[in-house]
Amino acid sequence: MAQQQMELGYEGGGVLRLKVDETAAAAMQAALAGGGWHEVMAESGQHWVNLAKLVYLRLDEAPAGVGFSGT
């Protein structure tokens, strides 16, 4: 399953960057309409997000690796 970089922007300027799989990214997008607290399972572990304090959500395909790709 492909990894995505999720960036959560909070009131006051705080940003949380997580590497998540496609399922977790889709679940987060679906949860935005509901508000409240949402669990996010990321590469770094389990995180609980208060959606009421969230200003933005950014999803981007995670980089394939480190270094030069040669393309």
> Does some domain include residue 67?
no
Whether 31 maps to a domain, the answer reads: yes
Is the whole model's pTM more than 0.85, yes or no? Answer: no
> Residue 68 pLDDT > 90, yes or no?
no
Domains of the chain: total? 1
Whether 69 maps to a domain, the answer reads: no
Q: What's CA 68's distance to the chain center, in Å?
A: 25
Mean pLDDT across 51-67: 81
| Residue range(s) defining the domain that contains residue 50 | 3-61
Whether residue 9 is contained in a domain is answered as yes
**pLDDT, tens digit (0-9, with 9 covering 90-100), for 27-50:** 999 999 888 999 999 999 999 999
Any bridge partners for residue 48, and if so which? 39
Q: Where are the beta strands (DSSP E) in the chain?
A: 3-10, 15-21, 37-42, 45-50, 54-61
Q: What confidence score (pLDDT) does residue 66 get?
A: 63
If you ran DSSP here, which 8-state letter would residue 25 be given? H
Instruction: Answer yes or no: are the C-beta atoms of 18 and 40 closer than 8 Å.
Output: yes
CATH number at residue 26: 2.30.30
